[in-house]
Amino acid sequence: MIRKVKSQKSKVKITIQNLKFSILSCSFTFCILSFTFTCYAQEITILYTGQTHAMIYPCDCPQESDGGLARRATLIKELRKENPNTLVLDSGGFFAGGLTDEYTQNTQLDMQRTLMNLKAIELIKYDALTLGDDEFNFGKDFLLENIAKIKPSPVSCNILTNDPKEKPPLFEAYIIKEVAGVKIGIIGVTGLSARQKAFDLKFSGPKIAIRGAVEELKKKNADIIILLSQLGEDDDLRLIKEIAEIDVVFSGRSRRHGNNKEELYSKIDSVLVLRPSWQGRRLGKLSLTLKDKKIIEHKVEELRLSDEIKDDPEMLSILPRCFSDANCKQEGMIGACQKPGTGQSECLFTKASGVTLSIITPKICSVCDSQDMIKFLKTQFPGLVVSYLYYPDARARKFLSNFNIKALPAYLLGKEVDKEKGFDKLKENLEIKGDFYMVKPEFSGFSYFPDRKKIKKKLDLFISLYDRNARELLEMTREFNPAIHFLAVEQEDKFDAPGGRPEVQEYLRSVCVQKNYPRFFWDYIICRAKNIDSSWWEDCLSGLAADKISSCSRSEEGKRLLKDNISLNKELKVMFGPTYLLDNQEIFSLRTVPKKEEFKKIIKR
């Protein structure tokens, strides 16, 4: 009996010890998991738009007919599912009307389109947006009445009322969003140009207002500070140099043109400056990696809202079928919008009459592409029937001789085109050539000069040293040894350039370096492209005689050298760059700086 009791006591002791170990083991595991969680970086996604101008349908574009609210809604839903830690922001300019809305019709329809866009903003569930001057296109009362009906309410730190005693202010200066345990402060600021449309409101100085909002956010322990700005990019860049606490700026009025990916964003010191896509044709995506609630990595993308994205059914249910004829498209048909902008709107289609288009293009050309122009002409003349003539075939050569055509591809429309609805829009860009209307080369673009002698492996580069990619481009093309032509023009024995006198003076110095020290020419222009805003140009001479270059650039010799340098620009009517002339015949431009291997392939083709 005694042994039996001892045995049971032993079992009890073992069980208690096992329990203690189990508890300690669980506690240790919890500590490890807790430690791991706190050390792991947070992943936050910010989706953004700006300057959409109530663009509710895909754009009426010959290339990449992207955009539209229904596609945007679908993509945002998908991205939110991928990462619930997502914010959706708009940096202003979401009302229709005004000088920058190319789809404006009349006040009534512009108001209807704006109201439709406001419903869409609420349906998409934006987290924050700010106001630009376009939001006052229909007056303060229209804005206040309709913006109050949706969520979120806009943020703007510098819009006041005429009554200083009125509290609270019309709009909150900022909001705080907590995402993945991170407090994100979002400030809005409105450009002072809005005063011209909202004369019964007062606006405070943006810098003082933003600084005040930043200080309040810091007191409330905001980890990340975002600025939705409608000031203009130059003002944005000045602000971030003076207010160091801002982490990200969405520039609602940037200098960006079109969908150039190279202009998607900049990093100024530690501040990200992002530029939304025009008219909401693409959706901006900023991916942030944070550790200890600080940004340690970022990735910026722009996602096409192409026809590969299905329209969101819920969004389609609130949109009218059309606001104008441009929204009614069907291959080979002419569309007309009936009862535009209403729930009863519909598209009626009639068969388009045939319009002939003859395209004269080289048989062999690395860079000739007529597809964009064809797509554009089809938007104007849906019944377009296309045929080709290939140079140097006899019939093509005869057309070139008879019509004095100097550049290809050439686009010849049949005379029946003048009876079409779209003719009036295009006629200023057409010239009569026998029984045809030829699209003017400066409008259609051109890629090939049939009268120029082919010189294999010859490469010319037309460039501005003031282009922000100039240094990178020069370094990439250096091994191909292109002839450099600076983008200046001669006017009455004087020179001019987009950058004014400083740019002209730089080109005069550069051609003098090329004349006197040809071996150092490339080193000099690359050095200057890297530091183009510096007046210390002598630093790029690497010990060469600065006095000699200065004297040359101020003399008649310098003028003659620059005149020779830009003579080909004048002959070929090259006004913009970077532009390339290949084999003395093929001319083309590239939006971005290509990789060296990509550029080799272009040349080899």
| pLDDT number for residue 162 | 57
- Say whether pLDDT at 1 is over 80: no
pLDDT given at position 417: 94
Pick the CATH number of 459-604 from 3.30.2130.10, 3.30.1130.10, 3.40.30.10, 3.30.70.1560: 3.40.30.10
pLDDT value, residue 220: 96
42-318 homologous superfamily = Metallo-dependent phosphatases (3.60.21.10)
Instruction: Judge whether 42-318 and 459-604 match in fold.
Output: no
The pLDDT of residue 331 is: 83
CATH number corresponding to 354-444: 3.40.30
Read off the tokens for 101. Answer: 């809305």
pTM: 0.68
Q: Is residue 212's pLDDT more than 50?
A: yes
Query: To the nearest whole percent, how much of the chain has pLDDT over 90?
Result: 70
Lowest mean pLDDT among 191-205, 250-264, 350-364: 250-264
Nearest to 364, CA basis, from 586, 579, 597: 586
- Can you give the pLDDT at residue 2? 33
Which one of 59-68, 328-337, 550-559 scores highest in mean pLDDT? 550-559
Is the pLDDT confidence value at 20 over 50? no
How are beta strands 248-251 and 224-229 bridged, if at all? parallel
Q: Tens of pLDDT along 67-95?
A: 999 999 999 999 999 999 999 999 999 99
The rounded distance, in Å, linking the Cα atoms of 426 and 486 is 33
**Whether residue 116 has pLDDT greater than 80:** yes
Go through the chain and tell me how many residues it has. 605
| Per-residue confidence band for 28, with pLDDT thresholds at 50, 70 and 90 | very low
pLDDT digits 0-9 by tens, 269-288 = 899 999 999 999 999 999 99
Domain layout of the chain by residue ranges = 42-318, 322-351, 354-444, 459-604
Closest by CA position to 126, among listed 92, 176, 179, 90: 90
Mean pLDDT across the stretch 417-440?
A: 93
Give the pairing of strands 579-582 and 459-463.
Answer: antiparallel
Quote the mean pLDDT of the chain.
89
Digit-coded pLDDT (tens) for 151-168: 999 999 999 875 555 566
Contacts 24+ apart (CB under 8 A), 231-239: 231/189, 231/191, 231/206, 232/191, 233/273, 233/275, 235/206, 236/273, 237/268, 237/273, 239/206, 239/207, 239/210
Structure tokens at 121: 């903003």
Position 576 pLDDT exceeds 90: no
